[in-house]
Each structure stands twice: as C-alpha cells, then as structure tokens.
Amino acid sequence: MPSEARWVETLWWLKYVHPGHTVFDIGANVGIYTQIFADKVGKNGHVFAVEPGPKLAASLRNTFKDVQQVHVVQHAVGRQNESGDVFHYQNWSLLPLDKNDLRYKNKGYIIDTQDRDMKEEFLCEYLTLDSMVDQFHRGRVDCIKIDVDGAEADVIFGGRAMLKRDQPLLRVELSVTLAEMYQETPQHLCAELKNLGYRFFADHEPDEYKSIDDLCAHIPVGVFSSLDCICLPPRLQR
C-alpha cells in the first residue's frame, strides 16, 4: 500500500464524509485535500476548492477539469465582503500590499524580506463564508477544511449563520503567531466554536482535548508552526 494511502487512513474524521456530501476546502492550495474529498463525496457530491490567487486557481482548474464534483472558487474568505490589493508571500501566505497594514507589526513576519518575496500581485475579492455558501452552493454544508495562514478566525466569524444551521465537521489549522497577524488568538476562535457546541480532537487520532487551554498548549511555538484540529459538531457527537 502506498505511503500516501496509509497517511490518509490515519485521518479518522474522514469517516464522517460520505457520498453526496458537500465540502468546502478553504485554502485548497494545490488540491491534495480536494482530491481526498472528491474521492469521498463521489460524483453526486460537491467539493468547493477555494483559492484566491490566479495561478493556484488556474492550476486547480486544470488538475480537476475532468472531476465533475470539484468546483474552483477564486475568492478569499474573510470577516466581511470587500476587495483589496494583495500578494502571495513566499508563494503561500496572502498579505496586503499596504505596508502600513497592522499585520506587518507582528513579530512573526520578517518585514525586511517583504520586497524580495513579493509574488503574484492581484486584486483579491473577499467573501464571508456565509456569503460564499449563499453565492456558490445554497445548500447544506457537511464538512469544511480551513487552512488560511492565520485568518481562520475571520472564516469562522464570517460563517456564523451557516455554522449554526448546518453544523459542519471542521478541520482547522491553528497557529499562535500567524493568528496574531490578524489580531486574533486560537483561544478566541475555539471559544466561539465551543459556544456552538463543538468539541475538539486531534487530527490523526480520535483523542479529545480536555479543554481549550489543553488544546492550545499542544500548538507548537514558531512562526510557521501550527496544529490541525478536528472540531466535531453536536450533530456528530455520541
């Protein structure tokens, strides 16, 4: 069995993703999880691969051009509907062109490398998660993967209505340093989800964190360090 197949098998939470389901892959990047989700939901399901950058979005469209259940959405997900000039920092993190933006005051961002690492400037359209679902799907959402380099709280707080209505399974990347760039903390994000009835588990084994403090204590320290957390909604809890 290929090592990739063994890795996928450790993702215990995929047992909750079924044929016909709808999944949003927010921060799809090159589409590794998009492919996993597409295989799980089948031709009667939907996978929305969300990437704002023109190059990555074009690459996703090419990769999944023959996969009918995959839909590429070239938008960013934010706390409000807006647009702004951005660039990809080191080809992965989405940052504003305006050097006076508060994110550049964060100690985790090495500002003296900004000019050297600027790639693919473009006008980015942001939609809240609620607006994105209304615009592109208008149906139940069963699972969401969120990996947006520190802006995860913006996704959650912009999707309250859908989260309350559909109670989707969530896989969320948590980073202390990257969240600080958005004046946020993993604790604040998790407290919001806890208020909605979510419980928190490890990514590769169904071990539940005892508390939000316990979860946050497991997040590694470092600029690019993060923890992938599974957030189990009330409808899936036994």
User: Rounded to the nearest 5°, which phi and psi values hold at 143?
Assistant: -155, 145
- pLDDT, residue 193, reads 98
Instruction: Label the pairing between strands 82-89 and 118-127.
Output: antiparallel
Residues with Cβ within 8 Å of 100's Cβ and at least 6 positions away in sequence, in order, are none
From the list 49, 106, 96, 91, the residue with the least C-alpha distance to 74 is 49
Q: What angle (nearest 5°) sits at the alpha carbon of residue 137, between those of residues 131 and 142?
A: 100
- Where is pLDDT greater, at 94 or 46? 46
- pLDDT, residue 68, reads 97
CB 183 within 8 A of CB 154: no
- pLDDT, residue 112, reads 47
Report residue 164 as tokens.
């309350």
Q: Predicted confidence band at 89 (pLDDT cuts at 50, 70, 90)? A: low
Could you give the CA distance from residue 145 to residue 156 in angstroms, rounded to a whole number? 11
The label of the residue with tokens 């690459």 reads 59
Helices (H) and strands (E) in the chain, counts: 10, 11
Q: Convert the pLDDT of each residue in 111-125 to its tens digit.
A: 444 554 556 777 889
Q: Convert the pLDDT of each residue in 177-201 to its tens digit.
A: 888 888 899 999 999 999 999 999 9
Give the domains, in start order, of the chain with CATH numbers.
Answer: 3-81+129-236 (3.40.50.150)
% of the chain residues with pLDDT over 70: 84
**R_g of the chain, CA atoms, integer Å:** 17
Could you give the CA distance from residue 64 to residue 59 in angstroms, rounded to a whole number? 9
Report residue 153 as tokens.
């709280």
* Alpha-helical regions (H) of the chain: 3-9, 32-41, 54-63, 114-117, 129-136, 152-157, 160-166, 176-180, 186-195, 212-217
From the list 60, 10, 6, the residue with the least C-alpha distance to 35 is 60
Mean pLDDT value of segment 146-150: 92
Mean pLDDT value of segment 122-137: 94
Could you give the CA distance from residue 125 to residue 222 in angstroms, rounded to a whole number? 29
Q: Convert the pLDDT of each residue in 202-212 to its tens digit.
A: 999 899 999 99
The label of the residue with tokens 């023109």 reads 54
From the list 217, 59, 53, the residue with the least C-alpha distance to 125 is 53
